[in-house]
Amino acid sequence: MSNSQVIDYDFDYYQPQNIEEALEYLGREGAQVLAGGTDLLNTIKIAGQQPPSLVYIIGVKELDFIKFEKGLTIGATTLLSEIEKDDRIINQYPALAESIHSIGGTQIRNQATLAGNLCNASPGADSAPALITLKAQAEISWKSEEREIERKIIPLEKFFTGPGATILRPGELVTAILIPEAPPFAGSAFKKIARVKLDIAKINCSVYLTRDGDLCNQVRIVLGSVAPTPVRARRVEDFLEGKKLNLSLLTKATKRATEDISPITDVRSTEAYRRELVSVIIRDTLMKAWKRSGGEIEK
């Protein structure tokens, strides 16, 4: 019965201390990962889902890390609040720090994990656009039938398959997020538009680009909350690559974004408003990323 106060069914609860144990429990039928719990407990209480067993992975210390070595690797149980305040991430991957800071409020970020935000796979997941523009990958682990630990690496761009859906199979656990090194003259930025700061996005946008003199070299733009999964604004990217940036070019380019999205009307916004906003949010975010790469914009 849907209620927000108690969980009214019994489940088996496991608290593994290491990856091997976690994958052992997750390999059993009906096992569900429990990390921060800020999505799952509501899915259970309100949406009435009843996973037969919960595997609480926050106790797995091996998965709690932020490592800088040939890029950035973030362990699956690292709290959002730890990631967003890491100075190296703020400096080298500002869009990532900004997008994580925009999630929920202090309390949620003190409990929730990056891997959890991705596995929940909301079309409006705030961490997804920045990670996809940064060409991030997910390291996924599981136990084979021979009880050996197997691993695979999947680009995040291929991770989401629909609202609330990912390519993860039963028994599979996201164990880390991998982000490549940021080259010099790279710039990234993130913007989120919501009713209040605690809210899920009406629309969010991340831009990552590299600058070659006054030419926009590579540009990746990802939008959230305007399609069943986070989407690339490819028509805008194609228009801008290799070009010298100025405001009128940006205005022309960002108008094409409406062809890359399929927004709906929901409690937070309308299809029409989202279509209206998409060109503006890309323009603002892109200009910020460009400035961060050291570029200037002509009027």
Per the CB < 8 A criterion, the answer to whether 181 and 70 are in contact is yes
Tell whether residue 227 is a contact of other proteins (CB under 8 A): no
Closest listed residue to residue 164, CA positions, set 116, 120, 131 = 120
Tell whether residue 13 is a contact of other proteins (CB under 8 A): yes
Q: Which of 75, 94, 104, 224 binds other proteins (CB under 8 A)?
A: 104
Query: Can you tell me whether residue 16 is helix, strand or coil?
Result: coil
Query: Minimal distance in Å, beta carbon 27 to other proteins?
Result: 20
Q: Which of 32, 81, 217, 218 binds other proteins (CB under 8 A)?
A: 81
Contacts of 207 (CB under 8 A, 6+ apart): 95, 133, 187, 188, 189, 190, 219, 220, 221, 282, 285, 286, 288, 289
Q: Token match 């939008």: residue?
A: 223
Q: Which of 17, 49, 91, 107 binds other proteins (CB under 8 A)?
A: 107
Query: Minimal distance in Å, beta carbon 17 to other proteins?
Result: 13
Instruction: Give the residue with the Cβ less far from other proteins, 82 or 157.
Output: 82
Contacts of 52 (CB under 8 A, 6+ apart): 11, 12, 29, 30, 31
Backbone angles phi, psi at 236, to 5 degrees: -75, -45
Instruction: Give the residue with the Cβ less far from other proteins, 8 or 298.
Output: 8
12 forms bridges with which residues in the sheet? 53
Site mask, other proteins, residues 144-183, x = CB under 8 A?
A: ----------------------------------------
Tell whether residue 1 is a contact of other proteins (CB under 8 A): no
What is the token pair recorded at 156?
Answer: 């995040």
CA 58 to mean position of chain CA atoms:
19
Site mask, other proteins, residues 28-57, x = CB under 8 A?
A: ------x-xxx--xx--xx-------x-x-
Per the CB < 8 A criterion, the answer to whether 127 and 192 are in contact is no
Tell whether residue 17 is a contact of other proteins (CB under 8 A): no
CA contacts within 13 A on the Cβ side of 275: 11
Total chain residues near other proteins (CB under 8 A):
34
Instruction: Give the residue with the Cβ less far from other proteins, 80 or 134.
Output: 80
Tell whether residue 198 is a contact of other proteins (CB under 8 A): yes
Residue 210, amino acid: T
Give the whole-angstrom CA distance, residue 281 versus residue 277: 6
Q: Which of 22, 58, 138, 193 binds other proteins (CB under 8 A)?
A: 58
Tell whether residue 205 is a contact of other proteins (CB under 8 A): no
Residues that bind other proteins (CB under 8 A): 3-13, 15, 34, 36-38, 41-42, 45-46, 54, 56, 58, 81, 104-108, 110-111, 196-198
